[in-house]
Amino acid sequence: MSESEQKLPKSRPHPWLCPNCGAEEVYLTTIHYTASAKKDGVVHTFEIPEFIINRCRVCETLLFSNYSNQQISQALQAHLRTVVLQPEQIRNARQELGLSEGQLAAKLGVAEELISRWETEAITPPRAMDNLLRLYFGIPAVREALKGTEQDPHFGTVVITESTSNSGV
C-alpha cells in the first residue's frame, strides 16, 4: 500500500455506479490534474501532479469528494506560497527592522498571533496583507507613516496629490 493510499479516508468498497453513464466502473485512481480556485478575488490555476480521485473507467467522469476538495485546498495553499512573501522573508524583514512580532503587528494593525502564523506557515497572508507587508518592508516613508495605536486618526482621510504636496497643504 502506497503512502498516499494510507492517508485516504475510509469509503465504501469499489467499484461504484457512475452517476453519468450508469456503469459500475468507478474506481480510485491517481491523475495529473489542473485546478483553478479563486482567492482574494484572483483566479489561480495550479497543477496537482498526483491527484487521487474516483473516476469512471467507461466515461472518465471524475467524482469529487471531500478528500478531493482537501487536496485542491492544500495545493492552492502551496501555490499561494509561491506568489506571496514566504514565511522566512517576512521574519527576516521584520528582524532586519529590529521589530518583534508584537511591534510589527501593532504597526500594521493586526493581532500578534497573525504575524506568528504567517511566519510559521500556519496560514498564508491574503493578497492585500501581502501588499501591505511589501510596502511596509520596502518603503521607509510607509514605515514612518504607519504608527499603529499612535496613528493620527485623520491620516489617509485627505488625498495628497502632487499639486497639494507642492503647495504646502
pLDDT given for residue 168 in this prediction: 53
| Fold of domain 87-150 | 434 Repressor (Amino-terminal Domain) (1.10.260)
> Residues 6-29: pLDDT tens digits?
467 788 899 999 999 999 999 999
Check whether 160 has a pLDDT greater than 90. no
What is the secondary structure of 15-61 as a DSSP string? PB--TTT--S-EEEEEEEEEEEEEETTEEEEEEEEEEEEEEETTT--
If DSSP codes are grouped into helix, strand and coil, which group holds residue 157? coil
Predicted confidence (pLDDT) at residue 1 exceeds the cutoff of 50: no
Domain 16-83 falls under CATH 3.30.300: no
Q: What is the pLDDT of residues 76-106, one digit of tens each?
A: 988 887 778 989 999 999 999 999 999 999 9
d(CA 42, CA 69): 18
Which pLDDT value is given to residue 3? 43
Q: pLDDT of 18-67, one tens digit each?
A: 999 999 999 999 999 999 999 878 899 999 999 999 999 999 999 999 99
pLDDT cut 70: percent of the chain above it: 91
Tell me the domain boundaries of the chain.
16-83, 87-150
